[in-house]
Amino acid sequence: MSYNKLTPEEAYVILNKGTERPFTGEYNEHFAAGVYTCKQCDAPLYRSEDKFPSHCGWPSFDDEIEGAIRREVDADGRRIEILCANCGGHLGHVFEGEMLTRKNVRHCVNSLSMNFVSAEELARQQGSALKTAYFAGGCFWGVEHLLQQQPGVVSVVSGYMGGHVDNPSYEQVCSKQTGHLETVEVLYDPAVVSFETLAKLFFEIHDPTQEDGQGPDIGPQYASAIFVHDEEERGVSECLIAELENKGLNVVTRVLPMAPFWRAEEFHQDYYVRTGKVPYCHRYQKRF
């Protein structure tokens, strides 16, 4: 079997069981959607949804792709080494009992042992026809965090939509002078999840009856809205609003035509994943 050619630094880690210096690896603070693969043989190892910020200095995962990882007692007789099950390349070590996540496991992996394939690239490789949907429901941190947990969602990006200023900054939007709403762009696979399912979830993770705000966040930039591509999406959105109103809710969510979407600053992307915090004004409430 032929393997990828390794640099001396990669060979030191993968073949000679070395360790890269903490906080120096490419994937230590990396939280994009996709799959991490073996640097030596390209075998899939970890999914991005299982990566978490452990602040230990190396990429950390609390789960593995089934059958991807082999465990062996380390040479020191104390730690458990993890290796690629396909090629035997050294990845790092696995630890249990630290209570850093609900699964209580930490795969501590060297960045040099891995490559990353983005969700978009995976979709292209698989020939999937992805679509986008745009939802505004208060602070985009919480909307992004909850929508990206839906199966079929490839990625969620926080940004601004519906205003009259090109490429606005967060400060400009917060000034309430640009007309933008904090909005998320959802990239999804329609073969797995429908626009209607996403729209229903959107209505269930924020309060569609609160006008110009969400929880303690007050202002026109926090208004509830769905930006639609076509009449089909408009019809689905309006039917869901009518269904909620029939249940007695006074829905203020607007259904708006498509507008330019401007990606927010990197500080706002994957905010809750990076910080380990939890949403303060968004929670799931079944409405349908």
Q: 128-275 maps to which CATH number?
A: 3.30.1060.10
Residue range 17-29: average pLDDT?
A: 95
Q: Where are the domains of the chain?
A: 8-119, 128-275
Residues 6+ apart with CB under 8 A from 77: none
The proportion of the chain whose per-residue pLDDT surpasses 70, expressed as a percent, equals: 99
Q: Nearest CA to 93 among 75, 107, 103?
A: 107
Question: pLDDT-derived band of residue 2, with 50, 70 and 90 as boundaries?
Answer: confident
Residue range 63-90: average pLDDT?
A: 94
pLDDT tens, residue by residue, 132-164: 899 999 999 999 999 988 988 888 889 999 999
Residues 6+ apart with CB under 8 A from 143: 135, 136, 137, 156, 182, 184, 202, 205, 206, 282
Q: Is the pLDDT of residue 205 over 90?
A: yes
Three-state secondary structure along 104-124? CEEEEECHHHEEEEEHHHHHH
- Give the residue, 110 or 101, on which the prediction is more confident: 110
- The span from the CA of 74 to the CA of 145, in Å, is 37
pLDDT at 102: 81
Question: pLDDT-derived band of residue 279, with 50, 70 and 90 as boundaries?
Answer: confident
pLDDT tens, residue by residue, 212-230: 999 899 999 999 999 999 9
Question: pLDDT-derived band of residue 127, with 50, 70 and 90 as boundaries?
Answer: low
- Catalytically annotated residues: 139
Pairing mode, strands 181-188 and 213-214: unpaired
| SS3 of residue 27 by DSSP | coil
Domains 8-119 and 128-275 share a fold: no
Q: 8-119 maps to which CATH number?
A: 2.170.150.20
Q: Is the pLDDT of residue 118 over 70?
A: yes
pLDDT tens, residue by residue, 33-69: 789 999 999 999 998 878 888 999 999 999 999 899 9
